[in-house]
């Protein structure tokens, strides 16, 4: 055996245990850091959830007090009861709806409108409606996101049944604009690069501003690339910009608008469904590539696109 071969093997024999130990040490350190990060994230999420629960419980307690008022029992006293509801609105920043228990439920008053104004039926979210649930269970209930017919914006409702002699003749509903939760989210101190979202029971986001996020991303992300390219080839960049700025502006506008629509949809519907539907753009990419750019891979592309479509159907189901 040559001396060089022997020394090479000896070196590898000495270095290999150290390399294995180093790899294990790195894995262990990264795992512990990830565990610490997950634990911190869990604490932040738990504390925020507790704060939201306290926020809702305070309003629930006041609604229960209102539900026990004798003003409910006499329709002649409902104008006074309306003023009590206005006091709730002034103190908690949440409007109050007083409804009957017919089908559909009718608003007897809503603090968003003057007393006696004609009002539409109480809206009923498709997934989790607070008032019907409170009527069925006899317990307070919180709804998923819905569009208020009077407010004309996204709301979350807290419903409390009004009990009289083992019957529920009426329901009290407090509504919250989703941007109130956004304000509470913005007060949470998060480490750099972290994000926190609040979702309802169907996965639709109650908070976060998708338009602001997209515009910020669209502004700062290309600036980094632009500055880098200007440093490398200033004249070429300027020449290309003068020649193609209209097409570039159109492409940037379409891309930003498309991404903004996707993130907005994630605030309106379950995130998993929107994400899956977003991937259905692969189907259009296949068709454009086959018929416009003549790539000639239509069968393979359609097979892949069919897999994406099936995934969308399965997630939706």
Instruction: Please check whether residue 278 is in contact with residue 259, taking contact to mean a CB–CB distance below 8 angstroms.
Output: no
| pLDDT tens by residue, the chain, 317 residues | 566 676 667 666 776 777 677 777 767 777 777 788 778 878 888 888 888 888 888 889 999 999 999 999 999 999 999 999 999 999 988 899 999 998 889 999 999 999 999 998 888 777 778 899 999 999 999 888 778 888 788 888 899 999 988 899 999 999 988 777 777 777 887 776 677 777 665 555 555 555 555 566 666 667 777 787 788 888 888 888 888 888 888 887 887 777 777 766 765 666 666 766 776 677 777 777 777 777 766 677 777 767 766 766 665 55
User: Any bridge partners for residue 90, and if so which?
Assistant: none
**pTM score above 0.75:** no
The phi-psi region of residue 96 (left if phi > 0; otherwise alpha if psi is between -120 and 50; otherwise beta) is beta
Reference 55, options 192, 194, 176; nearest CA is: 176
Instruction: Yes or no: say if 111 and 95 are a contact pair by the CB < 8 Å rule.
Output: yes
């Amino acid at each position: 055996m040559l001396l060089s071969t022997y020394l090479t093997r000896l070196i590898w024999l000495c270095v290999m245990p150290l390399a294995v130990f180093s790899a294990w040490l790195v894995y262990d350190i990264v795992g512990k850091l990830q565990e610490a990060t997950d634990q911190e994230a869990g604490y932040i999420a738990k504390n925020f959830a507790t704060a939201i629960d306290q926020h809702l419980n305070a309003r629930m307690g006041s609604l229960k007090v209102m539900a026990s008022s004798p003003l409910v029992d006499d329709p002649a006293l409902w104008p006074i009861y309306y003023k009590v509801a206005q006091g709730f609105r002034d103190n908690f920043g949440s409007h109050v709806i007083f409804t009957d228990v017919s089908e559909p439920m009718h608003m007897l008053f809503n603090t968003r409108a003057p007393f006696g104004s004609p009002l539409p039926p109480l809206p009923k979210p498709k997934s989790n409606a607070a008032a019907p649930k409170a009527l069925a269970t006899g317990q307070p209930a919180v709804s998923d996101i819905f569009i208020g017919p009077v407010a004309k914006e996204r709301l979350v409702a807290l419903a409390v049944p009004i009990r009289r002699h083992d019957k529920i003749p009426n329901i009290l509903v407090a509504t919250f604009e989703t941007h109130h939760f956004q304000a509470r989210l913005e007060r949470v101190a998060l480490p750099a690069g972290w994000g926190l979202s609040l979702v309802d029971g169907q996965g639709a986001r109650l908070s976060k501003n998708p338009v602001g996020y997209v515009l910020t991303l669209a502004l700062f992300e290309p600036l980094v690339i632009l500055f880098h390219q200007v440093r490398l080839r200033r004249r070429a960049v300027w020449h290309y910009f003068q020649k193609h700025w209209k097409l570039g502006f159109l492409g940037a506008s379409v891309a930003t608008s498309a991404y903004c629509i996707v993130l907005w949809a994630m605030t309106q519907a379950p995130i998993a469904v929107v994400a899956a539907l977003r991937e259905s753009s692969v189907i259009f990419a296949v068709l454009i590539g086959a018929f416009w750019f003549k790539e000639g891979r239509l069968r393979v592309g359609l097979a892949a696109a069919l897999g994406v479509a099936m995934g969308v159907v399965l997630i939706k189901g």
